[in-house]
Amino acid sequence: MNKLFYPALFHKAEEGGYWVSFPDIPECLTQGDDMDDAYEMAVDALGLCITDDIKEGIELRKPSNPSEIEVDDDSIVVIVCFDLEAYQRKQSSRAVKKTLTIPEWLNEEALALNINFSQVLQKALINEIQSLK
């Protein structure tokens, strides 16, 4: 269930760019200055709606078959991919306190150089995780 695919209607906006609607999630609307911007905004809007539904205990809505969606002359159907796991990681930046032990000399050297322990640990953990994947 990590990646979800929902059809979206990209409508040409009179003032330029596109506005986006999701047939399966009527409250999910957004817009963008061009196709790339509109797509990025659509992913974000879809993420907000899906995570809100999850928080409220609402079952994920089943995506429509794109070939069954009615399209007018100023619209096109675009499949929007939403990676739930990646979105949750990105949005969940709540800090968690960890206690660790390092040699005293290393602590003194790092403090003398004004090294940010949390930042160094985060970078090292990210590098380690990426190397193990």
Tens digits of per-residue pLDDT, 32-51? 999 999 999 999 999 999 98
The domain tally of the chain equals: 2
CA–CA gap between residue 33 and residue 35 (Å, rounded): 7
Range of the domain at 121: 95-133
- Residue bearing the bigger pLDDT, 97 or 26: 26
pLDDT of residue 126: 86
Identity of the amino acid at 80? V
Instruction: Give the mean pLDDT of 11-20.
Output: 94
Q: Are residues 46 and 106 in the same domain?
A: no
With a cut of 60, say whether residue 80 has pLDDT above it: yes
**pTM to 2 decimals?**
0.67
Q: Are residues 32 and 76 in the same domain?
A: yes
pLDDT of residue 112: 95
Closest C-alpha to 23, from 72, 56, 57, 58: 72
Sheet arrangement for strand 3-12 = 25-32, 18-22, 3-12, 75-83
